[in-house]
Amino acid sequence: MQLHFRESGQGRPLVILHGLFGTLDNWQTLARRWAELYRVISVDLRNHGRSQHTPEHSYELMSEDVRELLTERQLGPDATVLGHSMGGKVAMRLALDHPETLARLVVLDIAPGFSDMRHQDAILAGLNAVDFTSLQNRQEADEALARYIPQPSVRQFLLKNLYRREDNSFAWRQNLAALTANMPAIGAEIDAAQPFLKPALFLRGGKSDYIGPEDKLYSIPTLFPNSVVETIPDVGHWLHAEAPDTVFDLVNRFIG
């Protein structure tokens, strides 16, 4: 699969993988800062952004997509792969299956464990409720989402996927049908027969429950024995948006 990506900067490679319903544009502010230090490759994962849409959506497929991109761009074995939420699970899958393709792993606010993904039900209902046959503007799309999603910040994040096609009609950039159908696969547990022995950094939001105490004690060190879990206080799941300076500094310190 040919993934859409954006590359900037020089030096040691840093590959950035966004989360569910996101795009590489969600990371452009930090990517620009990191590009002063590293060779930054921001990626649209399959069924997201401007990358290819397919009916299939799994961590095995997404990690293979990223592995192919690493090989194609000749990023070498010194790459840092950073992923948030769903992108963090993609990064974990890649590290466990192909440890030779990267030097270190950074995961933002996600654990390897299973999730039933029920917390996404309202978002899926809202996205699927937008009627593109009659939609005239972004305000109407926001009003449709608001019936299911009360948080304005979440709606604004989702509306970044709304765009006008050449015929002036609206559409979502993500493959909503595939994501809806494959939601159980997005919640799947990441496991492996052999651990990833290279350095790994897990960053969690102090107000988020995506990485719990049992993950810090068991699931993360079992699969990533050379890992450290850092908590950023007073932020939630979107820690890179809420505390960008802290994320920037912690990642830089980790890469060394």
Active site residues: 85, 237
The CA-atom distances, in angstroms, between 146 and each of 122, 141, 163, 233 are 10, 9, 18, 29
Q: Is residue 85 a contact partner of residue 112, using CB atoms and an 8 Å limit? A: no
**Count of residues making up the chain:** 256
146: helix, coil or strand?
A: helix
Q: Is residue 37 a contact partner of residue 252, using CB atoms and an 8 Å limit? A: yes
The residues near 138 (Cβ < 8 Å, ≥ 6 apart) are: 159, 162
Q: Can you tell me the distance from the alpha carbon of 27 to that of 134, in angstroms, rounded to the nearest whole number?
A: 32
* Cβ-based neighbour number of residue 165 at 10 Å: 9
| Nearest partner of 5 among 34, 25, 21, judged by Cα | 25
* Cβ-based neighbour number of residue 177 at 10 Å: 13
Bridge partners of 104? 80
C-alpha torsion sign, points 31, 34, 37, 42: negative
